[in-house]
Each structure stands twice: as C-alpha cells, then as structure tokens.
C-alpha cells in the first residue's frame, strides 16, 4: 500500500528584488522536500512566487513555517503556507525576458534550484518568471531571465548543473526559439538504443573487435571514415537478410515516438542522419514519419554483404552537409534548425545548427554543444523548445 504524501504550497508576495528565489530555495533545501511545481510573475515590480512541494506524511511544518516566515519578514514580503494536495496553475505574465533557462532533473531538488537561482542573482540578472513544463518522468521548470550575459551565464550554470546532477539549458528569449522548425537527429545511441553496426557484428561473430573500434570512433580517438570501412570489412559474407532482422530488433530510445509525433503535430519537420546504414534505418524512418534520411549504404552482392560501402561516406562533414541539404529543401534557415547527437561525428552538425543538443553524449560533444541532456528520455528535447507536457497532450 502506498503512503500518501503531503503537499505544501508556499506563496510569497510583495516588492520584487534580486535574490528572492535563491534565498527561498536555500531555506527549503534544509528540509526533505521535492519540488512539484513553481510559478512566478512580476508585474510592475510586484512579485508573486508560488512553490508547490511534496513531503513525507509528517513534515516539520513548524520548522518550515518559522523559516519561511522569518525569510519573508527579512525581505519585506508576505508569506502564506497551506497544506493538502493540488497544483499551481494558471497563466502568468512576463516582463520581457531576454533568456530562457530550462532546468531538468529526476528528481529536481530544492538545493539545485537554490544553486541556479543564486548564480543568476550573483550575475546581476533577475528571474522574471518561473513555470513548470513537465513533472513526470522528469521534472522541468523554465525561468525567464533578464539582464544576464548568455555566454557567461551558460558557463556558470553548467558548472552548477554538474554539481547538482541536473541539466540546464540557456537560450536566447523572444522569437528565436519559437522560430525553430526543423530537428535533425543522429540515430545510433540517440534515436535508437545501441549501435547498429555492433548488432550486425554480433551476427558476424566479431562483436568485441567492432565494439572497441566503435567506442574509440565515437570518442573522437579515430578517424571515422577509416574506422567505419575497417568495421564494415569485418561484415563481409553476412547474409543480407540479417539487415531486416536487426531492423525489427531495434529498440527506440524512450520518448522517441512521443518526440517525433509531437513535432509533426506542431508543424515541425524532422530528419535523421547516420553513420549507420540506410537499409536498416530507412524503413524505420518511414514507419515513424520522419521526412529526411541520410545514411551510408552497404554493398550487397549475391544476397550477401561484400564488406564495402556504396557511394560517399556519411561522416562528420557529411552529417553537417545533410543538415544543410534538409534545411534548404524544407525552406528553413540554418538558424531555425536543431541538431541532436551523442558522438564526435555529430560535432559539425551540432555546430552548424541554430541549437545543438548533446544527448547522453561523450564529453567532447557536451563541451561543444549549446546544451546537453543526461536524462534517458528523448522527448525531453521538447522542453528545450518550450513545449510543455500539456502541449504534448494537446498535440495528439
């Protein structure tokens, strides 16, 4: 039997000033609480900040109430604390934020928000609005921030994110994000779990040898094209029918179908680029409704793989070229594209896109991308685009 949890709704109202959010979550971080929802609005200098928290059935209400009340008195604010169940909802207004700061965690603890809010305040920036985009299986809240330097804030918040085990994205505000219209993804270890060539190697009896080369190539330790040809050569003699077997056995990354369906429902175009093989991922793209595909082609003769490739290799430069080709065909400027990948051969594509996302990526990719995700759910990319879980439900 599941023990019901208690919820606390804390509301602060009064004259806004820098550091309110940071100090509140600093107080809350001293108690075993989880953040369920956050809403903040500032209108003509007046602040309304609401935080919905989950806690054990018998929380230290006296201690929490005393601490929050003391903080409110020190800041010249009014505080209200209510217990029970429910959620914070409703439309809130913004006062012209310049940046979107997106926080994702599972769980998202008060201490993490305290650290992020504190660094925003320390930079001289102000949080104008806070809203929740998702609660399960990942909690995601978004802050509209004004007065901050994007590059400095991105670097500072990235360090705080690592310290607290969460993901943080900093993006320009305004119409920039709303204009994003094309999302292009890597396939192996991004759209699908694992590497297709490793699955083929298992059937060819050379799994260990190929896996070692694959891992080194994805880290950027080896030239991708040379390493790919080396691995493909080991597949010579494998029956072509194995390609269909591997395709039917592919496992999509959690959230992949939701991501692609939602983007399609909202009018986005999508594409995949892969150093893998079109014979495997082409049918998968058709099944998912992905409009653009670029991948390598395995040479087949007499019903067997020859151990060679046909045509130009889709490598690091080839992926970026495919992104540009897809964008031109869709009539979308590169500044309105999103590229998602995990390996070193995705770096050029990520650099060329308007928004580059490292998804559970190698360190070299995380360092180069605009933002990174460490959660195992591909549909978390939607939150970086400002698409909430409610928007996802409405898209179906």
Q: Which residues are catalytic?
A: 186, 188
* Both structure tokens of 254: 């959690």
Give the other-Cβ count within 10 Å of 4's Cβ: 8
Q: Are strands 78-84 and 46-55 parallel, antiparallel or unpaired?
A: unpaired
3-state SS, residue 179:
helix
The DSSP bridge pattern shows strands 99-105 and 167-172 to be antiparallel
Q: Partners of 281 in the beta sheet?
A: none
Residue linked to tokens 């660094």: 119
Phi, psi torsion values for 125, nearest 5 degrees: -85, 165
Sole residue written with tokens 């075993």: 32
DSSP state of 372: E
| 3-state class (DSSP) for residue 255 | coil
Helices within 250-332 (DSSP H only): 256-265, 278-288, 316-330
Sign of CA dihedral 236, 239, 240, 243: negative
Element (H, E) at 122: helix 110-122
180: left (phi over 0), alpha (psi -120 to 50) or beta: beta
Q: What's the CA gap between 77 and 45, in Å, rounded?
A: 13
- Phi then psi for residue 268, to 5 deg, are -75, 155
**What is the distance between the alpha carbons of residues 173 and 146, in angstroms, rounded to a whole number?**
9
Give the DSSP H or E segment for 144: strand 139-146
Asked whether the CA dihedral 178, 343, 193, 315 is positive or negative, the reply is positive
Phi, psi of 386 (to 5 degrees): 80, 15
CA distances from 190 to 22, 78, 230, 267, 357 (A): 35, 47, 23, 22, 11
Taken as a whole, the chain contains a residue count of 396
- Six token digits for residue 100: 């979107």
């Amino acid at each position: 039997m599941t023990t019901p949890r208690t919820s606390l709704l804390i509301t602060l109202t009064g004259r806004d000033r820098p550091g309110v959010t940071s100090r509140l979550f600093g107080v809350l971080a001293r108690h075993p609480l989880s953040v369920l929802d956050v809403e903040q609005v500032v209108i003509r200098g007046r602040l309304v900040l609401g935080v919905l928290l989950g806690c054990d059935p018998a929380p230290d209400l006296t201690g929490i109430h005393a601490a929050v009340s003391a903080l409110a008195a020190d800041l010249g604010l009014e505080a209200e604390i209510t217990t029970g169940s429910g959620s914070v909802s409703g439309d809130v207004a913004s006062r012209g934020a310049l940046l979107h700061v997106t926080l994702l965690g599972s769980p998202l603890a008060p201490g993490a928000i305290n650290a992020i809010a504190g660094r925003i305040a320390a930079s001289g920036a102000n949080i104008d609005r806070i809203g929740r985009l998702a609660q399960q299986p990942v909690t995601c809240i978004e802050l509209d921030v004004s007065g901050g330097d994007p590059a400095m804030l991105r670097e500072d918040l990235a360090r705080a994110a690592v310290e607290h085990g969460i993901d943080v994205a900093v993006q320009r505000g305004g119409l920039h994000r709303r204009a994003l219209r094309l999302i292009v993804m890597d396939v192996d270890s991004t759209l699908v779990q694992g590497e297709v060539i490793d699955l083929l190697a298992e059937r060819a009896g050379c799994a260990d040898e190929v896996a070692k080369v694959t891992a080194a190539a994805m880290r950027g330790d080896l030239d991708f094209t040379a390493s790919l040809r080396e691995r493909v050569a080991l597949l010579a003699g494998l029956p072509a029918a194995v390609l269909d077997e591997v395709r039917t056995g592919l496992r999509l990354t959690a959230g992949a179908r939701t991501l692609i369906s939602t983007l399609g429902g909202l009018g986005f175009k999508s594409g995949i680029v892969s150093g893998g093989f079109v014979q495997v991922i082409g049918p998968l793209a058709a099944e998912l409704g992905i409009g653009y595909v670029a991948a390598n082609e395995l040479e087949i003769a007499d019903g067997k793989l020859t151990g060679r490739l046909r045509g130009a290799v889709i490598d690091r430069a080839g992926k970026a070229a495919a992104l540009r080709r897809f964008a031109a065909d869709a009539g979308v400027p590169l500044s309105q594209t999103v590229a998602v990948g995990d390996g070193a051969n995705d770096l050029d594509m990520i650099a060329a896109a308007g928004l580059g996302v490292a998804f559970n990526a190698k360190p070299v990719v995380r360092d180069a991308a605009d933002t990174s995700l460490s959660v195992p759910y591909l549909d978390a990319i939607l939150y970086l685009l400002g698409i909430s879980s409610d928007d996802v439900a409405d898209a179906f």
